[in-house]
Amino acid sequence: MNEEVLQELDKAVDIISSDEEIYVGIITGIGKTFVAGADIGAMKDMSFNEGVKFSEYGNSIFKKIENCEKPIIAAINGFCLGGGLELAMSCDIRIASQNAKFGQVEANLGIIPGFGGTQRLPRIVGIAKAKELVYTAQIIKAEEAENIGLVNKVTKEALLDECLEMANLIATKGQIALRYAKNAINNGYEMDIDKGINLESNLFGLCFASEDQEEGMSAFLEKREAKFINNIKKVNSSLEGNV
């Protein structure tokens, strides 16, 4: 996980976001590793200012992944450590192979997680478990990661096939609705319940300004499969500014 990899991730997310024919993104690694961590050699001699800058850059990319309007799945095929785990946690859904291993291992290097690990990990697994994992720099197996809610699923099948099956299922849904659902979940989670419900109500209302809502409900009443247009340009953009 170095600056070059971060730049490539940045470009990939831009492609996913801008291409209207892409409904779901999948991020995975090659071989036996998802991401084994940061490039320690490149980090060793960083100054305070360089460390802050590197952290801010990585966080900006992972925040872009988290805020991408389209769902992104992490297909975790092996070691998922340090910055790799932080990358996975910025994705919407995490599916792991049986041999995947997870750890926020930065304390072994005399540093803390710098790409959002101290913020996302407690939100996903709870503050007590997050502190344990960060303080001990413990590496856990896929089964435990699933048990604590760090991953959605551990698969015995071919990992990419499993992820593609879920991606294809997501792609059959109303994409405008999924966009608003992601907005409501991500942003509402940071609000108090009243503000979150208000956000949800506004986004719920926006769904009724789309052709997908009409098609989805008509298909239900007519007992047929919906044929969503999935074109966000069909939504009245002037209404979106109120959310």
Joined tokens for residue 53 = 């800058």
The percent of residues above 90 in pLDDT, for the chain, comes to 83
User: What value does the mean pLDDT of the chain take?
Assistant: 92
pLDDT beyond 50 at 238: no
Task: Choose the catalytic residue: 3, 86, 146, 190.
Answer: 86
CA 110, 114, 116 angle in degrees (round to 5)? Answer: 140
Q: Report the candidate in 149, 151, 84 with the shortest Cα–Cα distance to residue 114.
A: 84
Task: Choose the catalytic residue: 66, 106, 146, 225.
Answer: 106
Joined tokens for residue 24 = 């779901």
Task: Specify the higher pLDDT residue, 214 or 135.
Answer: 135
From residue 185, how far is each of 44, 124, 151, 191 by CA, in Å? 38, 13, 17, 10
Q: H or E stretch including 183?
A: helix 175-188
Q: Match 């997680």 to its residue by tokens.
A: 113
Joined tokens for residue 136 = 């001990």
Known catalytic residue at 215 = no
pTM for this prediction: 0.90
Backbone φ and ψ for 171, nearest 5 degrees, come out as: -70, -15
User: Would you give the DSSP letter of residue 153?
Assistant: E
Backbone φ and ψ for 72, nearest 5 degrees, come out as: -125, 130
**Per-residue pLDDT at 63:** 96
* pLDDT one-digit tens code per residue, 178-208: 999 999 999 999 899 999 999 999 999 999 9
Spatial separation of the C-alpha atoms in residues 165 and 11, rounded to whole Å: 25
Q: Report the candidate in 121, 153, 124 with the shortest Cα–Cα distance to residue 138.
A: 121
Spatial separation of the C-alpha atoms in residues 10 and 87, rounded to whole Å: 12
Known catalytic residue at 225 = no
* pLDDT one-digit tens code per residue, 95-132: 999 999 999 999 999 999 999 999 999 999 999 999 99
Spatial separation of the C-alpha atoms in residues 42 and 191, rounded to whole Å: 38
pLDDT beyond 90 at 234: no
* pLDDT one-digit tens code per residue, 18-45: 998 999 999 999 888 999 887 888 889 9
Spatial separation of the C-alpha atoms in residues 78 and 99, rounded to whole Å: 6
